[in-house]
Structure 1
Amino acid sequence: MLTGRDGLLVEARAALVRAAGAVLLGPAGVGRTALARAAVADLPPRLFREVWITATAASKEVPFGALGQLLSGGHPALHPALVHNTVLAALRERCGSGRTPVLVVDDAHLLDGPSAGVLLSLVQARAVRALVTVRAGVPAPDAVVALWKDVGLPLLIVPALAEDAVATLAEQRLSGPVSRSTTQLLWQWTGGLPQLATALIDHGREVGSLVRDTDQWRWRAPLVVPAQVADLLDRELDRVGRLGEDALAALALGGPLPLSVVEAAASPELIADLEQLGLVRSEQSDDQILVRLRHPMLGAVLRRRMSPARRRRVSAALLASTPQGTTRGASAMASALWAVHAGQPVGSAELLRSASLCLYADPTASEQLARRARERGGGAPAAVALAAALVEQSRTAEAYETLAAALRDAEAAGDRGAQVTVRVALARHRAWVGREPRQAYDDLLRIRADAEAAGDAAGRAEAAAVAVVVQLFSGQAARALHDARELLGATPPPAGQLRVTLASVAALALTGRTAEAARMGRAAVRRSGSSALPFARGMAAAALAFAELWREPIPTGPVTDPAAGRWPMPDDPLVSGLSHTAWPIFDGYAQRVSGDRVGAISRLRDAVAQQADGEGLFRSEATGWLAITLAEDGRPDEAEAVLREHPVDAVALVPGLRPWATAAVAAAAGQRTRAARLMDEAIAVARTSGCWLVELGYLIYAAHLDPVTGPTRYAGRIAEAIGHVDAERLVTAGRAVLALAGRNPTVLLEHAHRLLDVNMSGEALRLVDEVTRRTGTSDSARLFADLRTRLRAAAPGDPAVAAGLTARETQIAGFAARGLSDREIADQLVLSVRTVQTHLGRAYRKLAVTSRRELSDALRLVG
């Protein structure tokens, strides 16, 4: 089965059966040959017989070279006028009487002129049906072009696969679910070309780059280029010549570059030719044109082919074409590396800034730059930068030893400033790597006191700023906010000021003051500008998104580099050549809030795997939210396994997260009393920390655990918390719970509609479920029907939305309702039987049915 080609297959087969054939046009690696094979495979054998001809560069050098197999007399001796009839006679002899010859010509752009002329004459005479594949972006003989321009054969463009098609291809090759981040990587790395994607998937599984992790296949290694892909791309690059490869090398070393910079290595005409060949693409970005490679795998092959001399020459050209001090974003990340490759002197300050710029996008390059800075006398800052790069690569022991050695050196030299810098870095290491935030906070207080006693204002401010962040991630939002305001009043240095401001935004949101948090977050994003480090700018966007999550029905989430999705990144061109994707941890949580459990689980699985490495600031949130969502989806065993493998630890932004997650698992396992006790514990932790927004969320959750008595039991505290929280979405959910304490279906229906208005369909459906259990049949039916109408209006054309079914669950449920067995459904959709059973089980639970007969009736009701 071909993935993502159903429409093209139908068109190609129809053209062969009903007309004279078709031309398949697409770039190298797009699967033209596979599509042609699939198109002729199901032709009725009693009516058609295909004959394959493959043109090659070698056959192009010989007149009629491609037709040799059909010229029994030898083509050099034949007069061109006789070849048409000779070929036709050979085709008819092979096909037999009564069957129409289907001439499949693969890579027709490589046909020699005489062979192309014969092909054209056969099609014009309607003597054959022809299916011709042609590579886009390369010259083809006039006679081949005439097939669609003059004769009128349909020209079917074979495009690269869309991301969802690459995801389906990966799931088929791996026989299991694939993480969204991995499919995004595969799609971007290969440009959606199925030949490259298939080779990369197979190679990744063979060498262990693709691993089964958190119940999904995940890519956990740098980009590798399989041998067969390298051969294919090497042949493409051999055609562009030295100057063309210099231009491509510039993009491989620098990522997306302004057109003016690329033109330093190539003429505008050559760049246009490279774009015509499909090797590069250009796009408008703000006030400039950016040029990038067609796909990052091409960059990996270019870097492998690049000799030291070419690397030096191209890097020097890039530096010369970029005025000093004007680099920013991706170019700034690469500029120091260009200087290193070009053999030009680079100061330690520039090396360290570049190391910081590329720390999260390319920690290996960051390590290289930091080591070079240490060699150039970068001192304590270089050691701290090196340790950060090592932590990002999960080489934590090596990072600690680097810092410990730097501290010994600073003490031996009596350099108090360097001692403070390294001690603060060691405290951060203890907090994020050692997962001991309380102890790290005490360390920072001592560093702050020592710096103050020594009159070191800068060291004091640095320790105090980091202490605020550590306090925030110890579940002490109110205290962190208090200390942050004191620091901001004292005007700390710019780097510390931004760090403390971002902590303030998060703390304000957690304590329920989301409007103030959003205002401060927007100001922080503006102030961070393009001069701040990518991490700081990305965290500013993330802090703002978190503040707006409970305010906006569809909040704008932060983005990340799909190859390093652990951290949010600014929306600048990436030096990796990739495009930004949604930050998985925020994306997953936002989907959970909106009621999309399946989507949330997939994204949060990504987040758990990503946060398990490096500093993992949001490790506890990723684990806790995933476990809670799995439990809500009726999968307590999976949720418990997640908590066991990735425990919620002391580093947590959300106070009370551990008892909340444990309560969710207990509730899903039917242990309601234990779940209620744990939720009361979570509520108490949130209140003690001053986090009204978190407490309100916990109170709502606890009330739903016992829909009979819960709303009444928690009504007073929910009303109190609502008075301290200005987050519209959460307040709407809280007021819906207060309405549950009454029994008026009309009022409850109004609250369900309000929940839909703020994009909380999951809460709305839960409200309906609880009312259905507690009210009469007529009221329940009317309430459900009204809500179903609203849900359909929100997602027209998707009848499964009313029942909360995903598209895949709807598809599988439909097959099951028509009587297909699990095995037959699996074969039809190219899935495993286990996957079918999992989706079907979820559909049963959501529709409250236990058999295929009941399933059919339920689907008619919602559809």
Structure 2
Amino acid sequence: MASAWPLIGRRHELALTHAAIAESGAVVLTGAAGVGKSRVAREVLERSQYRIARWIAATQTGRSVPLGALAQFAGDCGPDPLRRVQEVIDALIGDEPPMTVLVCVDDAHLLDEQSAFVVSQLVERRIAPVLMTIRDGEAVPDAIASLCADGRRPRIDIAPLTAGDVTALLESVLDGPLESASVQRFWSYTRGNALHLRQLIADEVAAGRLAQRSGVWIWDGAPRLSPSLVELIGSSIGRLAESVIDVIDVLAVCDPVELTVLHGLAGASELGAAAEHGLVAVDQVAGLVHLAHPLFGEVRRDQAGTARLRNLRRQVADAIGMLPSQSPVQLVRRGVLAMDADGNRDPELLRSAAEAALQLLDLDLAVQLSRCAVQAGGGRAAQLTHALALGMVGGGSGCDDMLAALMATAEGGELAQIALMRAAILTWNMGKPHTAEAVLDSASEAAAGCGLAPSCDALRASIWAQLGRPQAAVELAGTALAGNAVQPLAAMFGIWALVIGHGDLGDVDHLREAAARGYDLALSAPEASQLRFSLGLMEIVGLRLAGALESARSVAARLRGQSQDVDVSHAVTAMLTGLSELCCGDLISAQRWFRESLARAAKFPDLSVSVCELSGLWLTTALAMSGNRAAAQDVYDQTLKTFDGEIVLWQSEARLAQAWLHAANGSTSLAVAFAIDAARAARKHGRPAREVVCLQAATQFGSTSSADRLRELSSAVRGPRADAAYAHARALRKADGHGLLAAVGRYEAFGDRVAAVDAAAQAAVVLDKRGQREASIAAAATARRLATESGADTVTFRSMRCSAVLTRRQREVIALAASGLSNREIADRLVTSVRTVESHFLRACRNTGTNTRDELIAFLLGDDRAPS
């Protein structure tokens, strides 16, 4: 972490201050404590054109001493008090001409009266320009008040930093990206107060709660305030009346709280006093009261004492319970208060609060509340809610063990309900679809007897979609959802099956219809609302397959806007945003979002096919497309599984990630082989849209064998991608440079800029070989433009510059050498002899005018060390 904090977000204030000093000779910077007035003043002094700059810091202790703030200049004054002011001025200014010494007075409201008179004389007699900082709400000495009366001197308000300023500042200080949810939390806690922010960052880094994960700084847990930060913030609270502090304490245990509740607990006049002091904000429209600064609550929780806080929690929970109606948010707040309050815990309140937390997507809190409900004696109902919460948050085998035990003693409708829940968790959280089907089979009779058979079929359809049976999944889900007898959770799983199935089949219109139906269900059925983010994942993947990339980006943006500051949902929406950016070839942005997702998802290792693994898969792809071989390999080794088990859903994505990794390492033949193998697997399972994407990748790597199959697929798969991939493959097979440029246009039209880079690079090579020099130069320029826009540095793009002097095999051998392989390892990788590898090196040196292996590598990579 950097020791010096840069000044960010104050360009406008600096310009205004310099202009005001030049025009009027004096200016006042005002603002709340800690917003950065002194920092701005220091920067003005450092940037000023004045020959001499004086810094005078007024203090509380110096306020009671005559000329206390100017003691360093008053030391040689004579005994005559009438001459003392002029003597201090002479010491300040020396022999300098008037208005050539800039004087800055920090915290001018703390000046003693004589020092204040000296400052006023500097301004009134135009002896020196003066810059003062004054804290909002503080009384100032009479001389300073007179100086600033009636707007005689410019006042510039130094506002708190904006959220964007906080982001830029912290990323500069931390020297790396800060996860977006953590940025929002720092903004929420400090409200842009630079002093509070600085102390909080130092405390949280020292405590290890602010740390780097997956290349992103992330802040976990609530802050534990250091004594220095408690003192800093508590100083503005400690001087208040006890009745006003009571208002703060109520909000310290429940923020926000209903206006009527606070009136009953603390009184209307006390609330008014707290608002006047700027400690609380009252929203009359919503009927809620908030703390003006969240750290006020942290300080009072640190100072108020455990017994007082426990008693307050019980009082607030009871008061909210007396309101005429209870929203899910209010129910959750009551449950949270009850968990750590005086008196006995109500298990039904805790269980209901846990269900409400699930609806609000606060999954960690749902686990805590449901666990408390079980411990308070909530029985089987509480155990089921706890199992569901554990399953949603990634409880894995422990969750399944709980459900299996409950299922063993259940019968009838309860047996079918537990079977549904258990099968869903086995399929989508634990990656065991065959076990899930067995669970559904074991409860089929009970499901039929209580009307849950359609719900079981809807869930079974999602299992088939995961197993790579899209046509069967679509048919079963369509039948199950045709009536109105499906429970909301099961209906959402059935809709997943439709979205996955239609996406795999290349039917983008029906995919959109099914997804829209799912989002409507999430709005009308709170118990299914948390599944809309995974629905978004399935939709974005399907839109990507078709080539509807801007639609994919819109879906991701909408869902990110709906997510709360909850680890699971933020991890998912960060992944969705990264995937949509990857779709559109914005590789740098994609990498950042995937790293955010990995940083958040690291808390949930129990998910078999998890957010962490999928983000790792796509981050590997994005890094490989960017030519970052080492980072791509590192992410692959840490997070990516082969996905070669019973789950078919993500297998083609995983094999394509491996293909791109081989391409980044220079092994284009292996990259082509992996892409073709992934296409064959997709064809085997009847997933034509995925087959198109795999064959497109093979064509980008240089394969000329996919044109015929892509022609067949272009008539079966809807959306612009299939036609563009066919045009690309056909032109490459015919070595048709202008046809390749037409493919570039098709890719650009629907947003796949990485594919456009490769097609343009291939066009440049083909046109050059045919002697069409001007067209080749134009194609190369297009490739470079697209590479710059997207951040792509693919093997095909890199090969463009040296294709005239190196064969494809020579480029591959040199690229493998660049990745650190020896001649023997290269020979083994390419299934050839060491002598053949050495021969490729010799010919390549002759063709390029290089002499060593390192010079060849530099030539291939475009390094400045390459000989001219």
Fold shared by both chains (TM-score > 0.5): yes
Whole-angstrom CA distance in 2 between matches of 1:714 and 1:464: 38
State which drifts further: 97-106 or 662-671. Answer: 97-106
SS in 2 for 1:335: helix
Cα deviation, residue 603, structure 1: 0.9
Aligned equivalent of 1:815: none
Instruction: Say yes or no: does 1:774 pair with 2:778.
Output: no
Aligned equivalent of 2:443: 448
Aligned equivalent of 2:368: 368
Cα deviation, residue 746, structure 1: 5.8
1:260-271 alignment, distance < 5 Å: none
Whole-angstrom CA distance in 2 between matches of 1:767 and 1:845: 24
| Residues 313 and 342 in structure 2, CA contact (< 8 A), matched pair in contact too | no
- Residues 51-86 of structure 1: per-residue CA shift (max 9 Å, x gap): 322243x666788765666666999x998xx5xx63
| Residues 611 and 619 in structure 1, CA contact (< 8 A), matched pair in contact too | yes
| Identical positions, percent | 22
| Residues 283 and 290 in structure 1, CA contact (< 8 A), matched pair in contact too | yes
SS in 2 for 1:771: helix
Work out which of the two has the higher radius of gyration on C-alpha atoms and give 1 or 2.
2
1:33-48 alignment, distance < 5 Å: 33-41=38-46, 43=48, 47-48=51-52
Q: Quick one: higher RCO (CA 8 Å, sep 6+), 1 or 2?
A: 1
| Residues 27 and 131 in structure 2, CA contact (< 8 A), matched pair in contact too | yes
Cα deviation, residue 93, structure 1: 1.4
Instruction: Say yes or no: does 1:602 pair with 2:592.
Output: yes
SS in 1 for 2:35: coil
Whole-angstrom CA distance in 2 between matches of 1:72 and 1:344: 65
Whole-angstrom CA distance in 2 between matches of 1:198 and 1:700: 50
Cα deviation, residue 187, structure 1: 3.9
| Residues 469 and 503 in structure 1, CA contact (< 8 A), matched pair in contact too | yes
State which drifts further: 223-232 or 262-271. Answer: 262-271
TM-score (norm 1): 0.76
| Residues 528 and 540 in structure 1, CA contact (< 8 A), matched pair in contact too | no
SS in 1 for 2:520: helix
Aligned equivalent of 1:437: 432
What is the root-mean-square deviation in Å for CA atoms of aligned residues? 4.6
Cα deviation, residue 535, structure 1: 1.4
- Residues 777-818 of structure 1: per-residue CA shift (max 9 Å, x gap): 3113445668999x8xxxxxxx9649879xxxxxxxxxxxxx
Instruction: Say yes or no: does 1:697 pair with 2:693.
Output: yes
Instruction: Say yes or no: does 1:642 pair with 2:632.
Output: no
CA distance 1:485–1:227, shift in 2 (3 Å): farther
SS in 1 for 2:235: helix
- Residues 278-303 of structure 1: per-residue CA shift (max 9 Å, x gap): 6556789xx84766445544444444
Structure 2, unmatched stretches of 5+, are: 794-856
Aligned equivalent of 2:6: 2
CA distance 1:672–1:337, shift in 2 (3 Å): same
Counterpart of 1:351 in structure 2: which amino acid? L
| Residues 542 and 568 in structure 1, CA contact (< 8 A), matched pair in contact too | no
SS in 2 for 1:600: helix
| Residues 166 and 187 in structure 2, CA contact (< 8 A), matched pair in contact too | yes
State which drifts further: 769-778 or 142-151. Answer: 142-151
| Residues 56 and 106 in structure 2, CA contact (< 8 A), matched pair in contact too | yes
SS in 2 for 1:236: coil
- Residues 161-198 of structure 1: per-residue CA shift (max 9 Å, x gap): 34554444434444445445544443444333333333
Whole-angstrom CA distance in 2 between matches of 1:561 and 1:43: 47
| Residues 788 and 802 in structure 1, CA contact (< 8 A), matched pair in contact too | no
1:305-384 alignment, distance < 5 Å: 305-307=303-305, 308-309=307-308, 312-313=311-312, 316-317=315-316, 320=319, 326-328=325-327, 330-338=329-337, 348-359=347-358, 362-363=362-363, 365-384=365-384
Aligned equivalent of 1:834: none
Counterpart of 2:569 in structure 1: which amino acid? W
Cα deviation, residue 370, structure 1: 1.1
Instruction: Say yes or no: does 1:680 pair with 2:693.
Output: no
Structure 1, unmatched stretches of 5+, are: 570-581, 792-798, 806-843, 856-863
Cα deviation, residue 404, structure 1: 3.5
1:534-553 alignment, distance < 5 Å: 534-539=529-534, 550-551=547-548, 553=550
1:397-412 alignment, distance < 5 Å: 399-400=398-399, 404=401, 407-408=404-405, 411=408
State which drifts further: 603-612 or 4-13. Answer: 4-13
Counterpart of 2:863 in structure 1: which amino acid? T
- Residues 694-731 of structure 1: per-residue CA shift (max 9 Å, x gap): 2222221111010xxx3x42223223333333334675
Cα deviation, residue 631, structure 1: 0.8
Whole-angstrom CA distance in 2 between matches of 1:766 and 1:270: 68
SS in 2 for 1:670: coil
| Residues 361 and 569 in structure 2, CA contact (< 8 A), matched pair in contact too | no
Match of 2:58 among 54, 59, 62: 54
Aligned equivalent of 2:854: none
SS in 2 for 1:529: helix
CA distance 1:182–1:338, shift in 2 (3 Å): closer
| Residues 692 and 721 in structure 1, CA contact (< 8 A), matched pair in contact too | yes
Whole-angstrom CA distance in 2 between matches of 1:37 and 1:408: 68
Aligned equivalent of 2:834: none
CA distance 1:441–1:583, shift in 2 (3 Å): same
| Residues 29 and 194 in structure 1, CA contact (< 8 A), matched pair in contact too | yes
| Residues 16 and 131 in structure 1, CA contact (< 8 A), matched pair in contact too | yes
Whole-angstrom CA distance in 2 between matches of 1:275 and 1:601: 44
SS in 1 for 2:354: helix
Cα deviation, residue 663, structure 1: 1.0
Counterpart of 1:689 in structure 2: which amino acid? H
Counterpart of 1:770 in structure 2: which amino acid? Q
Aligned equivalent of 1:851: 864
CA distance 1:54–1:583, shift in 2 (3 Å): farther
| Residues 760 and 779 in structure 2, CA contact (< 8 A), matched pair in contact too | yes
Cα deviation, residue 555, structure 1: 1.6
State which drifts further: 358-367 or 770-779. Answer: 358-367
SS in 2 for 1:713: coil
SS in 1 for 2:211: strand
Instruction: Say yes or no: does 1:96 pair with 2:91.
Output: no
Aligned equivalent of 2:580: 590
| Residues 171 and 178 in structure 1, CA contact (< 8 A), matched pair in contact too | yes
SS in 2 for 1:634: coil
Counterpart of 2:495 in structure 1: which amino acid? T
Cα deviation, residue 353, structure 1: 3.4
Match of 2:523 among 529, 533, 543: 529
- Residues 450-484 of structure 1: per-residue CA shift (max 9 Å, x gap): 6347x3544x5665555444444445444433332
| Residues 180 and 602 in structure 1, CA contact (< 8 A), matched pair in contact too | no
Aligned equivalent of 1:822: none
Whole-angstrom CA distance in 1 between matches of 2:722 and 2:685: 19
Aligned equivalent of 1:192: 192
Cα deviation, residue 632, structure 1: 0.8
Counterpart of 2:597 in structure 1: which amino acid? A
| Residues 261 and 322 in structure 1, CA contact (< 8 A), matched pair in contact too | no
Instruction: Say yes or no: does 1:656 pair with 2:652.
Output: yes
- Residues 584-637 of structure 1: per-residue CA shift (max 9 Å, x gap): 101111111121111111111122233343254433321111111111111223
TM-score (norm 2): 0.76
CA distance 1:545–1:154, shift in 2 (3 Å): farther
Match of 2:667 among 664, 671, 682: 671
Cα deviation, residue 48, structure 1: 1.0
- Residues 626-684 of structure 1: per-residue CA shift (max 9 Å, x gap): 11111111122321221211123456743422211111111111111211111122112
State which drifts further: 634-643 or 723-732. Answer: 723-732
SS in 1 for 2:366: helix
| Residues 137 and 277 in structure 1, CA contact (< 8 A), matched pair in contact too | no
| Residues 476 and 655 in structure 1, CA contact (< 8 A), matched pair in contact too | no
Instruction: Say yes or no: does 1:718 pair with 2:710.
Output: yes
SS in 2 for 1:237: coil
SS in 1 for 2:443: helix
| Residues 74 and 87 in structure 2, CA contact (< 8 A), matched pair in contact too | no
Whole-angstrom CA distance in 2 between matches of 1:404 and 1:171: 44
